[in-house]
Amino acid sequence: MPEDMALAALPPHRSWMRGGPRPVLALHCSLAHSGAWSGLAARLQGVTVTAIDQMGHGAAEDWDGVSDLHGAATEAAILMAERLGQGAGIDLFGHSFGATVALRMALARPDLVRSLTLVEPVIFAAAKAWDPAVHAAFRARHLEFARLIGAGQREAALRVFHGDWGTGEALDALPARTRSYMLDRIHLIEAQNPVLLDDAAQMLRPGGLEAVEAPVLLIDGAKSPPVIEAVQSALAARLPRVRRVSVPGAGHMVSITHAAEIAPAVQAHLDAC
């Protein structure tokens, strides 16, 4: 394949060269874009961080409304990882939805993964066995959010979602362009439910997480919704090489709002791998 055609096949992306060629692939959360990694990337050394725009976000293609959104995001990330690694494993960063994509990659293509840095991977199905009460309360609220989308109440749905999973800043305080961007994509949250709520991709299958050989850094914000603690604990109990970091005062958007606080732990994780 000619080089220009190969590049065209890759998802839209941006890179930060931080003093070394070691490739890092970064996968953003829902309702964001590749630029969400700029704060953390600027604080790292010895790597080149490449972040992609995931389907439906940034400059990436729109979701068609019927296909497996999580599967398509995983395929795009695998394509970029293959290009960056050139036959060797690379370091993966993922936040929220992006962290579940990174984890799915590690399960499906361990040859591509040198290390994992997962910021609040929202594989909510993992919480069910760990803390059934917390999981049940979360699931009910999340399905109510999905009902609002189905009823066409997109702004109401966005307010619920942002209140639980945003930066802590009021939705109305955000720039109009940011609110519009999020509102236009709020339906993508519901599209992830088969994988994240019901584990349609079988990421939690017996023996799967236990076979992940790459070292894993799990990061969360101490003020995140309770379901996150259940998910993190469930994953940490099964992943064989895992370390947890919880950031006081931070919520779900910790990799953006507290990039300076988590950067030393991320750098140490990379240096040890």
Q: What's the CATH code of the domain at 189?
A: 3.40.50.1820
The 10s digit of each residue's pLDDT in 30-46 is: 999 999 999 999 999 99
Q: According to the model, what pLDDT value does residue 225 have?
A: 96
DSSP per-residue codes, the chain = --HHHHHHHSPPEEEEEEEEEEEEEEEPPTT--GGGGHHHHTT--SEEEEEEPPTTSTTSPPP-SSS-HHHHHHHHHHHHHHHHHTTS-EEEEEETHHHHHHHHHHHH-GGGEEEEEEES---GGGHHHH-HHHHHHHHHHHHHHHHHHHTT-HHHHHHHHHHHHS-SS-GGGS-HHHHHHHHHHTHHHHHTHHHHTT-TT-TT-TTTGGG--S-EEEEEETTS-HHHHHHHHHHHHH-SSEEEEEETT--TTHHHHTHHHHHHHHHHHHHH-
Give pLDDT tens digits for 159-214.
999 999 999 999 999 999 999 999 999 999 999 999 999 999 999 999 999 999 99
pLDDT band at 6 (very low <50, low <70, confident <90, very high): very low
Predicted local confidence at residue 9, as pLDDT: 79
> Looking at residue 5, what is its pLDDT?
36
Q: How many domains does the chain have?
A: 1
Instruction: For residue range 57-78, list pLDDT tens digits in order.
Output: 999 999 999 999 999 999 999 9
**Predicted TM-score of the model (pTM):** 0.95
Tell me which residue of 157, 216, 229 sits closest to 187, measured CA to CA.
157
pLDDT digits (tens, 9 = 90+) for 83-112: 999 999 999 999 999 999 999 999 999 999
pLDDT at 4 over 50: no
- Residue 227 and residue 121 in contact, taking contact as beta carbons nearer than 8 Å: no
Confidence band for 3, pLDDT divided at 50, 70 and 90:
very low
pLDDT in tens, 202-227: 999 999 999 999 999 999 999 999 99
Measured in whole angstroms, how far is the alpha carbon of residue 19 from the centre of its chain?
25
Structural domain harbouring 65: 3-272
Instruction: Identify the band that residue 270 occupies on the pLDDT scale cut at 50, 70 and 90.
Output: very high
